[in-house]
Amino acid sequence: MAEKFKYIVTDELHGKRLDAALASFDDTNSRSTLGEFIKNGLVSVDGTITKKPSVKVSTGQEIEVDLPEPENLDAVPQDIPLDIIYQDDDLIVINKPVGLVVHPGAGVKDGTVMNAMLYHFPCTAQLARAGIVHRLDKDTSGLMVIALSKYAQIKLVRAISKHDVVREYEAICEGLITAGGTIEKEISRDPHNRTKMATVCDGMGREAVTHYRVMEQFREHTLLRLRLETGRTHQIRVHMASIDHPLLGDGTYGIKRLRLMKGASEELSDALRNYRHQALHAAHIEFIHPISGEPMSFDAPIPDDFNRLIELLREDERVNGEKL
């Protein structure tokens, strides 16, 4: 059964291709997939079906999509514990640990959040992606909202596509950042490595906007609070690397060889050497409950290893910061 979505073209999308404009609203399907929807006659502009992804749109036009319901992957229920911090009849909010993949994909057949959902909440077998409406990378920890009912899933997907779900992260990046800012760079698949994402020229990828502010500076690192305006794959990691401040521990987009700091304690050096995942945690999420209409807001403390690293960096700054 198809679901119908309607979007109004805003000023910033005026003159863009239809597939690019649609991608700016839809965080759950790739631009190529949306292009196939257009070619298959599932998209209309001001009431007229348009089968050309390249057609240009204008401010105020209404785009309507008869979006097919995604099929569930062939996932089986597995008794994997979930850290549930909120639950009602229509949704749950979990605190995902580092190392847990969200759903099966290339190279990952099971052991995911999706498998856990099918076990703990069998009702989600009737939902696309077992109720999952957004993702976190395997090695990113923190908050996720997951639907337990069909209507809640539809409403949450719409809220995310309209950027009405607030998602804030804490991260440690390489180097010193002196002031907050906003990164607005489109993101697409890296043409040289299809397993990675990259920032690209305007019109060549999907709109991506990341806001960040400085929480604390250390000698050679900065603790940041980031807010996503969009939710592209690896967005924070790619955006921070694009301004030469990759996330600490990011083996994909970060520094390939660890640079130990002069004068650092053995404990800090060991902690940096053994920190094998990006220092990124989804610390805050807020949204309007899709059924009750009540505002919902949740926070999750950063993991112990992340917190310990901050403490060691803070102590190093206290001891060595003014000497060097």
Q: Which residues are identified as catalytic?
A: 137
Q: Are 285 and 86 in contact (CB under 8 A)?
A: no
Going by C-alpha positions, the residue among 61, 1, 52 that lies closest to residue 25 is: 61
Question: How far, in Å, CA of 65 to CA of 55, rounded?
Answer: 15
Q: What are phi and psi of 186, to 5 degrees?
A: -65, 150
Nearest Cα neighbor of 272 from 225, 322, 218, 324 is 218
Q: Are strands 141-147 and 209-217 parallel, antiparallel or unpaired?
A: unpaired
